[in-house]
Amino acid sequence: MIKEQNRSGREYMKVRKVNQKEFWEIRVKQYNELQWANEKNYLNAIVKAGDFKPNHLVLDVGTGTGIVLHAIASKVNEIIGLDISQAMLEHSNWQDNKYFVKRDIREPFFHDSLFDRVVARMVFHHIIEDTQKASNECYRILKPGGKFILSEGIPPSKEVWEDYIKIFKLKEERITFMLEDLAETIKKAGFKNIQTSTFIMPRMSINNWLEKSGLPEKTQDKIFEMHICAPDYFKKAYNMKIIRGDCLIDIKYVILIGEK
């Protein structure tokens, strides 16, 4: 394992080399059944943050199966979904004002100052290498005055930060962010007038999250056990409830808006 940590607490976990193509081919099978991905109040918070207009051209980075894209599409002129996984894109709905491109946001592809809005929900933690390059590219392709809406799930408190990392170490390669890390990333890219807000998703089912993850059953059981047997400070931070054999927790998301 390679571990690198900076001053603010951001940590890179390189647990194993994962074939990204296979990773998403496995996850896509039940991705649209994930509770967190379809949470209407969370989607509404993203839409509200974007302040989308009927004449806008929008890019949805890491669109996956297009859940966020579809929530925005009716409010704008055109929206393009960008993703590295063909398997995920094949589960999207290609119609009306929606378009999809198989591409990595770190690879320059679009013209300068093209989009009115760029959205990235729950994708930056997957960009383990050259994360800043991804943020820089989002800045480059936005029009002056355009906005970048970035959202990620974060530990509910710094007290459970290490526990959070240990759990996700069993699930996938990822970056664990805190709010200040994300703010620093988009500030370095050039964004100004940065606004932040928090969204709490209550009572997320750990059973749903694990059963739809594509993880081996033994790994699912281990992660579930880590929640059930967690210290009291962890349970308190997550407002954990055990109901009918399921573990329900409150998930913390941050939404940042940066202006070019």
Q: What is the pLDDT at residue 152?
A: 98
Q: What is the pLDDT at residue 92?
A: 80
Q: What is the pLDDT at residue 82?
A: 97
Q: What is the pLDDT at residue 95?
A: 74
- From the CB of residue 7, how many other CB atoms can be counted at a distance below 10 Å? 8
Residue 89 predicted with pLDDT over 90: yes
Residue range 56-73: mean pLDDT, rounded: 97
Q: pLDDT tens digits, residue range 135-144?
A: 999 999 999 9
Q: What is the pLDDT at residue 6?
A: 39
Among candidates 95, 110, 141, 131, which has minimal Cα distance to 260? 141
In angstroms, the CA 74 to CA 53 distance is: 10
H helix intervals, the chain:
20-27, 35-38, 40-50, 67-73, 86-89, 131-140, 161-169, 179-189, 206-211, 217-228, 232-237
Beta bridge partners of 197: 255
pLDDT band at 245 (very low <50, low <70, confident <90, very high): very high
In b/e form, how buried is each residue of 94-127, taking b as 16+ CB within 10 angstroms? Answer: eeeebebeeebbbeeebeeeebbbbbbbbbbbbb
Residue 1 predicted with pLDDT over 60: no
Q: What is the pLDDT at residue 11?
A: 43
Residue 12 predicted with pLDDT over 70: no
Q: Are 253 and 201 in contact (CB under 8 A)?
A: yes
DSSP per position, 116-132 = EEEEEES-GGG--SSHH
Q: pLDDT tens digits, residue range 117-137?
A: 999 999 999 999 999 999 999
Residue 50 predicted with pLDDT over 60: yes
What tokens were used for 129? 């290498």
Q: What is the pLDDT at residue 18?
A: 54
Residue 8 predicted with pLDDT over 80: no
Q: What is the pLDDT at residue 93?
A: 72
Residues 6+ apart with CB under 8 A from 162: none
Residue 73 predicted with pLDDT over 80: yes
Residue 222 predicted with pLDDT over 70: yes
Residue 10 predicted with pLDDT over 60: no
Cα Rg, the chain, nearest whole Å:
18
Q: What dihedral do alpha carbons 18, 69, 204, 11 form, nearest 10°? A: 40
What tokens were used for 117? 């809005």
Q: Are 15 and 188 in contact (CB under 8 A)?
A: no
Domains and CATH numbers, the chain: 2-202+252-259 (3.40.50.150)
User: Of 39-53, 88-102, 125-139, 142-156, which gets the smallest average pLDDT?
Assistant: 88-102
Residue 16 predicted with pLDDT over 60: no
Q: pLDDT tens digits, residue range 20-29?
A: 788 889 899 9
